[in-house]
Amino acid sequence: MNLDRNWFSSALKIKGSVIPTIRSRVLWCGAFGLFVSVLSFYKIPVAAKALGGIIPSIVLGLLLVFRTNTAYERFWEGRKAWGSIVNHIRNLSRLIWVAIAELNPIHRHEKEQSLKLLVAFAFATKLHLRSQSIDERVSKLVSPLQFSKLMTVKNPPLEIAFWISDFLQAKQEQGQISLYQMNELQGLLNSLVDNLGACERILRTPMPMAYAIHLKQLLLIYCLLLPFQVVEELRWWTAPAVVLVSFILFGIEAIGVEIENPFGTDPNDLPLDMICNTIDQNIDDLISIETHYRRAGAYGNNLDEQLN
């Protein structure tokens, strides 16, 4: 019973659907269908079933399917890129925390700052893909000097990646990590930048304008010709029929447009805020757990005695 209730609740939900987007188009097509019904009622010859062959339904359907599939492929590729960003940040933070030796408390602070830079990379990537400026959330993760620098560069996440790379190089030169460990960490960082590039490619390579315009034109022509095809049989039911058909067609096209850019703030876009907050929480958990662990056994204390 609960499943049925949830199903109907989702089916009748307006927020998150494309109804607000296509409502005016559907109503205009319905009004035109009513106008054709009125003409037919006054014996004006408007019925023309032959118009149905101008734009075959199967052709229009295939175009809509291709449009939706292409948009969803972009959406899913964006989700995979962000999933990879999450995984690489987790692996980088884990390896930085474990592999880099702590010879004094200053080294520990430096490691904490490097992990915060990884969180800043995620937040900066989100803002960069949304064409938004670096905000207060990022300012809490970097130094004031770094924040000022990020406000001036065109690609803040790339700048943050450079700082992390510089930190790893310095630790290798100081002998706190081996060359092998440094190469592994740099490889993870390179993959992180690769995923940034994948997101930028999705963002900056929209659907070809000619295809999008042509599909909209075909949809409009089809919905305007539809009343002339069905008015002879449906009479006053022509307007509801046109509303239903146009709702289906315009809805499918609008879904493709909605998910074509998955990095925005619409309900159907990727939950980037939640993903970034999850990364932030993961890093906080890592630092807090290790803080307890190292306070129990670091800098000469007997770890076994503390744990027992």
For the chain, the average pLDDT equals 87
Please determine, for residue 290, whether its predicted confidence score (pLDDT) is greater than 60.
Answer: no
Within 10 Å of residue 263's Cβ, how many Cβ atoms?
A: 21
Residue carrying structure tokens 């999850």: 278
Report the distance separating Cα 150 and Cα 166, nearest Å.
Answer: 16
| Per-residue model confidence (pLDDT) at position 4 | 66
Please report the sign of the dihedral spanned by the C-alpha atoms of residue 85, residue 88, residue 90, residue 92. Answer: negative
Please report the sign of the dihedral spanned by the C-alpha atoms of residue 250, residue 252, residue 253, residue 254. Answer: positive
pLDDT in tens, 34-78: 999 999 888 888 888 777 667 777 888 888 988 899 999 999 999
| Per-residue model confidence (pLDDT) at position 1 | 58
Residue carrying structure tokens 């070809």: 208
Report the distance separating Cα 68 and Cα 152, nearest Å.
Answer: 38
Among the residue ranges 4-13, 21-30, 146-155, 245-254, the one predicted with the least confidence is: 4-13
Higher pLDDT, 286 or 118: 118
Q: What is the pTM of this model?
A: 0.85
pLDDT in tens, 120-163: 999 999 999 999 999 889 999 999 999 999 999 999 999 999 99
| Per-residue model confidence (pLDDT) at position 293 | 47
* Cβ pair 243, 251 in contact under 8 A: no
Please determine, for residue 215, whether its predicted confidence score (pLDDT) is greater than 80.
Answer: yes
Please determine, for residue 298, whether its predicted confidence score (pLDDT) is greater than 60.
Answer: no
| Per-residue model confidence (pLDDT) at position 11 | 76
| Per-residue model confidence (pLDDT) at position 164 | 96
| Per-residue model confidence (pLDDT) at position 35 | 94
Confidence of residue 308 (pLDDT cuts 50, 70, 90): very low
Share of the chain above pLDDT 70, in %: 92
Higher pLDDT, 163 or 13: 163
| Per-residue model confidence (pLDDT) at position 297 | 42
Within 10 Å of residue 219's Cβ, how many Cβ atoms?
A: 21
Q: In this structure, which long-range contacts are made by residues 97-100, counting pairs with CB atoms below 8 Å and at least 24 apart in sequence?
A: 97/286, 97/287, 97/290, 99/177, 99/181, 99/185, 100/171, 100/176, 100/177
What average pLDDT does range 88-97 have in this prediction? 94
Report the distance separating Cα 263 and Cα 104, nearest Å.
Answer: 42
Q: Structure tokens of 254?
A: 């609008």
